[in-house]
Amino acid sequence: MKSREEIQNWLRTKIAEKIKSTPDKVLVDVPFTNYGLDSILIVTLVDELEEWLETHLDPTIFWEYPTIEILTDWLLSAELPEK
């Protein structure tokens, strides 16, 4: 499993790419909805995160765990299946 810092940096970078911004503008405690991510972008992020973590994820995780910080905590504590 990746470290907390690796996961948060990856998410910040990917979200910044999607919203055409820089990672320093993507904060770990701000809800994903505040960045204007629509369902298509979120599903794309889930797919990319699955590939990067080499696991299967439910597409609803960005709604169930609405910030980078909360999602990271869940990813680190969950028993994720290997791909």
Q: Output the pTM of the full model.
A: 0.93
Q: Domain 4-77 classified CATH 3.40.50.2300?
A: no
Q: What are phi and psi of 77, to 5 degrees?
A: -100, -20
SS (H, E, C) the chain: CCCHHHHHHHHHHHHHHHCCCCHHHCCCCCCHHHHCCCHHHHHHHHHHHHHHHCECCCCCHHHHCCCHHHHHHHHHHCCCCEC
pLDDT in tens, 44-60: 999 999 999 999 999 89
- How would residue 81 be classed by pLDDT, with cut points 50, 70 and 90? confident
pLDDT in tens, 20-37: 999 999 999 999 999 998
Report the pLDDT value the prediction gives residue 83, as an integer from 0 to 100: 75
pLDDT at 80 over 90: no
Domain boundaries, the chain: 4-77
